[in-house]
Amino acid sequence: MVIRPRGRENVQYKAKERDEFFRRLDRGGTIRAVAAELGLSVESCYRWRNEAGVSTSRAKSRVYTAEDKAEFFRLLASTGNVSKVAKELGFVRVTCYKWAHQAGIFTGKDTRAQRARFERLRADGVSRADAARRAGVDKRSAQDWDKGIKQITGGRVHPDGRVVRYRQAAILANVKSPRDAYTRGAPVDLARLETVIDSRYLSLIERERIHDLRSRGDSIRSIGRALGRSASTISREIARNTATTVGYLPYAAHRIAAARRPRRRACKLESAGDLRAYVAAKLRKRWSPEQISHRLVKDFPDDQGMRVSTETIYQAIYVQGRGALKREIAASMRRGRTTRKPRRDPAKRTSRFVDPMVSIAERPAEAEDRAIPGHWEGDLIVGTMGRSAIGTLVERSSRFVTLVHLEHDHTAETVRDGLITTVADLPAALRRSLTWDQGTEMSGHVGFQTATDMAVYFCDPGSPWQRGSNENTNGLLRQYFPKGTDLSRHTPAELRRVAEDLNERPRKTLDWDTPAERLHALLNAS
């Protein structure tokens, strides 16, 4: 069967090819998998499916029997080619490769051994075609080896410095190193292109001027004077970043320069030595990277080779690609983590809520100084496995506690309705505002505000101290509701008794008054 390239809609298929497509589709698998097996255009297969009115639901995965698997291994033993056997049997190729790998069968090619054998045969005077056949390689690879052409992802590097990139349909020139072969013509992230690092580096506008002045016939020195740059900078720019055979192009040059920016440096702890052994030994003793870094200066005051920064040690532990320190050593860290916890830029955070939040910065001053009652702080205490919760409300002026019963779950709707029911029992003088963290359980804050006429303010991310009274009260409540317990079993009556118990407990911050006494005094004073 002739294998046709994917995506060619002008190919005219025969009726038997269409029938074979539907026959294999009925056996199981996706349209793309069947199209790949038969060498058909994916677009044509989808069109046939639509014309036939076949269901568009996702095809069920094919179930293979023990006999299918046995037949696969029988043919594989005779041919040694997984793809060929999968195509002959009509099996999914990925599944066949998985069977082979699970059985410990090597399915890749030992290219180095093949090339060594090919070169020995060529040295003995064997023709290229015969040597390729005897070494088990294709003619194109044999041709590349003979001509000194190196293969890279999506292209080839020629001995004269040319790089042919097939995906970009580009021929690049003046390639000086293997690294350039990978960077030149490769796609570059837009953010990296637009990032301005320093005025020392040429900008896109300057590169456009270099191209224009160069096309006009200006010399290197005159271009440098026009841009306020040295002649060596202009000369180096043209030599390094001329990407195509047609000459210097500003946008291509800018992409090359942007792709060249990241430079991976070797970690000090990658190679075995006294420094690595010292760091590993101290990590086993549960020293922190900061302690190790500063202790090196004291232990080896005259040996500059025994220096490593705190961040370098962390990089050696967390960045797996470097592999400088083993996981068992990294496990000695205080936090027990072997991967770095990602930190998001606060400026790039996206809101969790559909409705916009009102920041705590906009909360009125009367709430800040705790002079007027009616401003509350709220949160949830969560039970075992996060399946149950109790809502907690603390009045800022008096530290008066009210608990919200959440019977089944703590979704946004449940929390909203529970808060509305609880707040409705409060007098109007105590319904001024509510401050919450940015938990998703409060995404129904607009509905709560509409029903209660209480303004809702949200704390900044990672700022629990902005609800200090509530956080402290949650700690007290853990005496009654320990962590790791099911909180849904507590009835509303039990929650009221716990709240009364806390409200009748004298507090140091209230000059040993109870929250109930202080709240009563504030209401009478107002």
Tell me which residue of 183, 314, 154 sits closest to 252, measured CA to CA: 183
Out of 24-28, 289-293, 354-358, 388-392, pick the least confident.
Answer: 24-28
- For residues 227, 230, 232 and 238, what is the CA-based torsion angle, rounded to 10 degrees? -10
CA distance 483 to 475: 10
The three-state DSSP-derived secondary structure of 260-315 is HCCCCCCCCCCCCCHHHHHHHHHHHCCCCHHHHHHHHHHHCCCCCCCCCCHHHHHH
pLDDT above 90 (res 23): no
CA distance 377 to 474: 11
Q: Does a structural domain hold residue 33? A: yes
Integer angstrom CA distances of residue 233 from 213, 214, 240, 281: 15, 14, 10, 48
Q: Check residue 379 and give its pLDDT.
A: 92
CA distance 35 to 48: 11
Sign for the CA dihedral angle at 314, 320, 321, 324 comes to positive
Answer with the one of 208, 236, 260 that is the final residue of a domain: 260
Q: Check residue 435 and give its pLDDT.
A: 92
Integer angstrom CA distances of residue 1 from 4, 19, 20, 26, 39: 9, 15, 12, 21, 8
Q: Check residue 327 and give its pLDDT.
A: 56
* CA 401 to chain CA centroid, nearest Å: 41
Q: Does a structural domain hold residue 146? A: no
Asked if residue 278 and residue 242 are part of one domain, the reply reads no
Asked if residue 507 and residue 397 are part of one domain, the reply reads yes
CA distance 221 to 215: 14
Q: Check residue 348 and give its pLDDT.
A: 58
Biggest CA–CA distance in the chain, Å, is 109
End-to-end CA distance of the chain: 92
Give the residue with greater pLDDT, 33 vs 418. 418
**% pLDDT > 90, the chain:** 14
Q: What is the band of 17 on the pLDDT scale with cuts at 50, 70, 90?
A: confident
Tell me which residue of 99, 39, 109 sits closest to 75, measured CA to CA: 99
Asked if residue 389 and residue 506 are part of one domain, the reply reads yes
Q: Check residue 331 and give its pLDDT.
A: 60
Residue 176 CB contacts under 8 Å (≥ 6 apart), including other chains: 161, 240
Tell me which residue of 105, 79, 83, 104 sits closest to 92, measured CA to CA: 83
Q: What is the band of 242 on the pLDDT scale with cuts at 50, 70, 90?
A: confident
Domain count, the chain: 4
218-228 pLDDT, tens digit per residue, is 999 999 999 99
Strand 401-405 to 433-436 pairing: unpaired
Give the residue with greater pLDDT, 174 vs 211. 211
pLDDT above 50 (res 3): no
Give the residue with greater pLDDT, 322 vs 437. 437
Stretch 119-131: mean pLDDT, rounded? 90
**% pLDDT > 70, the chain:** 79
Asked if residue 490 and residue 411 are part of one domain, the reply reads yes
> Cα-flanking dihedrals φ and ψ of residue 458, to 5°?
-115, 140
Asked if residue 95 and residue 40 are part of one domain, the reply reads yes
Asked if residue 488 and residue 451 are part of one domain, the reply reads yes
Q: Check residue 72 and give its pLDDT.
A: 87
Q: Check residue 347 and give its pLDDT.
A: 57
Find the domain containing 245 and state its range.
Answer: 170-260
The pTM (predicted TM-score) of the whole model is 0.40
Q: Check residue 400 and give its pLDDT.
A: 93
Out of 211-215, 258-262, 425-429, pick the least confident.
Answer: 258-262
Out of 1-10, 65-74, 106-115, 402-411, pick the least confident.
Answer: 1-10
Q: Does a structural domain hold residue 345? A: no
pLDDT above 60 (res 306): yes
Mean pLDDT of the chain: 81
34-77 pLDDT, tens digit per residue, is 888 888 888 888 888 777 766 545 445 677 888 888 888 888 88
Q: Does a structural domain hold residue 407? A: yes
Q: Check residue 194 and give its pLDDT.
A: 67
Stretch 387-403: mean pLDDT, rounded? 92
CA distance 214 to 208: 10
Which helix or strand (DSSP H or E) is residue 156 part of? Answer: strand 155-157
Tell me which residue of 456, 453, 460 sits closest to 355, measured CA to CA: 456
Q: Check residue 350 and give its pLDDT.
A: 61
Phi-psi region of 435 (alpha: psi -120 to 50; beta: other; left: phi over 0): beta
Q: Check residue 212 and give its pLDDT.
A: 92
Q: Check residue 164 and give its pLDDT.
A: 74
Asked if residue 460 and residue 374 are part of one domain, the reply reads yes
Answer with the one of 81, 102, 123 that is the final residue of a domain: 102
Residue 72 CB contacts under 8 Å (≥ 6 apart), including other chains: 85, 86, 89, 91, 96, 99
